[in-house]
Structure formats: C-alpha cells, structure tokens
Amino acid sequence: MKHDFQIHRDEFRLRVLLTNKCNKNCDFCLNDFQPKEPIKHADPMDLMDCIRAYGQFMKFIGKESIVTFSGGEPGVYPFLELILKTAKGRCDTVKVVTNGYAYHPDLNKFVDKWHIGVTEKEEYLIRTAKWMPNTVFQMVVTMDQDPEQLYDLVNYYHREGFLIKLFTDFRVDDPEQEILRGKVIRIAERFEDRICTRFTGVQRNRGDACLGCQQKCVTLKALWYFPDGTSSTCPQGKKKFFDDDTWDETMEKAYKLHKVEDV
C-alpha cells in the first residue's frame, strides 16, 4: 500500500466547524485544538453567505466545490438541516463528519458523503448505513490500541461492505508516528480493499499558507470557518485570521495561499 502524497494537490475545500460543542469527550479527538469553552455555534446567516461565496468562487475558477461540516459535533448544531440544504444547493459535494449523532436518513438528501467516527461496535450505525451507502467509517489509531482489537473493530464495519478510513493520532511525535503508520499498514494489508488512510504530517503539496510551519497536521487544503465566524487557512490557529469586508475577498485570498505551482 502506498500513500499518495499529492492526492489533494489541486483541491481547495471549505471546512466548516459548526460548533465547538460535542455530546462525547473522546481523548483523541482530531479537533482538540478547538477551545471547548464558551460554547459557540456558527451564525447561520453569516455561514450561508460564506457558502455562497465559496460555491461561486469555485464555479468561477472551474474546480469542484467540496464543503465539509464537522465540529465539535454537527448533530448538536441547531440549524444543521438549513445549512446542509444551503450547501447542497451551492456546492458540488457536501460531506459531514460526525460521531453518529447527526447521522439520520432525513438529512441524507443533502449529504453526498458521511464520515462516521467510531470507537466501538455500534449496531444502530450499521442498520442506518444500510439505507445510506454514501458512508465511510473512520477510526483514529492510537499507541495504546491492541492490534487484534483494532482488527476486530475494522472488520466489524468492513464485513458489511463499507469503506473504512484510518487516521494516525496527530498528537504523537515522529518516532511514534512511524509505529502508528506501520500499525495502519498492517491492518490495511489484512483486507483486500475498502481501506484508506490519512497519515499525519505527510501532505507535501502545500502552498504559501503553510510555509515555515512545522506543526503536525491532519488537514486538507481549505478555508476553515470557525464557530465564532472567524476564518483561516489553518485549523490549528497557527496562521492569522482573515479580516476582509466580504467572504468573496476571503475566498480568493485563501485559494491563492493554498495554490501550488510546482511539486
């Protein structure tokens, strides 16, 4: 299995953190860099304007518009259906990352891909997923996981025919990252298909937005919209926030900062 270091070379996504609130408290959450207090929810009117500007900009430059909603947990966001409906009307692809709380057939008509974070075997997710084949189950691989228990969890969802995505824990340093990558590869090799990976800190096709940054990262090239209405090219707060009069200005700036001219 080879990791494609250039897979997101020409992409520019909109990543929306709808809220910093969650109904769970997983200690390996990929969004641990978000402050948990005070509780904040994205303003729906401002966010709809942001989505409009993104969809229009991507159409203008002739590239696919991909908007991903996460959090916190999108399922606790009070205007989720309204925002998903808006995104579906403005963008080519709508994705939702959830722990399962937002996962509901009534919302499926607005969502092109569901990414469900799982830590255990949950039968109700399997039952729901049978009606929603546009589902990926994803797991964070940590240092303290027993390999056979990890295999058993992956197999539980894999045997139902769903795509599995494995992340390495973004918090650990390079030596442990190599151990985790080996762990992921060994698991993936035990299955013939439907396993994909997201290693930490290996995306090489970064633009000026990431110049000089040594921060370990699990992100894609995107404009990140935060629950308080601020935005940045960086989800971890290592780059300054944009302070433009309109979202149209911000989209153009963010895209140029992520654009890669040479490999």
How many helices (DSSP H) and strands (DSSP E) are in the chain?
Answer: 6, 9
Domain boundaries, the chain: 11-111+205-263, 118-200
Which residue has better confidence, 3 or 119? Answer: 119
Q: How far apart are CA 153 and CA 195, in angstroms?
A: 13
Largest Cα separation within the chain, whole Å, is 53
Q: How far apart are CA 234 and CA 242, in angstroms?
A: 11
SS3 content of the chain, % helix, strand, coil (to 5): 35, 15, 50
Structure confidence at residue 217 (pLDDT): 66
Going by C-alpha positions, the residue among 62, 53, 79, 4 that lies closest to residue 245 is: 53
Eight-class DSSP state of 19: B
Total Cβ atoms within 10 A of residue 187: 22
What Rg do the C-alpha atoms of the chain give, in angstroms? 18
The CATH H-level superfamily of 11-111+205-263 is Aldolase class I (3.20.20.70)
Task: Please list, in sequence order, all residues whose beta carbon lies within 8 angstroms of the beta carbon of residue 102, skipping any fewer than 6 positions away.
Answer: 73, 74, 75, 80, 96
Cα 220 to chain center, whole Å? Answer: 8
Write the pLDDT tens digit of every residue in 8-61.
667 899 999 999 999 887 766 766 567 778 999 999 999 999 999 999 999 999
Cα 238 to chain center, whole Å? Answer: 18
Structure confidence at residue 94 (pLDDT): 98
Eight-class DSSP state of 217: -
Is the backbone peptide bond immediately before 72 cis, with ω within 30 degrees of 0?
Answer: yes
pLDDT confidence tier of residue 91, bands split at 50, 70 and 90: very high
Written as six digits, the tokens of 5 are 């270091």
Write the pLDDT tens digit of every residue in 59-80.
999 999 999 999 899 999 999 9
Share of residues in the chain with pLDDT > 90 (%): 57
Q: 212-226 burial, b for 16+ CB within 10 Å, e for fewer?
A: eeeebbbbbbbbbbb
Q: 20-41 burial, b for 16+ CB within 10 Å, e for fewer?
A: bbbeeeeebbbbeebeeeeebb
Which of 83-97, 139-153, 166-180 has the weakest average pLDDT? 166-180
Burial of residue 67 (CB within 10 Å: 0-12, 13-18, 19+) is: buried
Task: Please list, in sequence order, all residues whose beta carbon lies within 8 angstroms of the beta carbon of residue 19, skipping any fewer than 6 positions away.
Answer: 39, 40, 41, 42, 71, 72, 73, 74, 76, 77, 227
Q: How far apart are CA 149 and CA 127, in angstroms?
A: 22
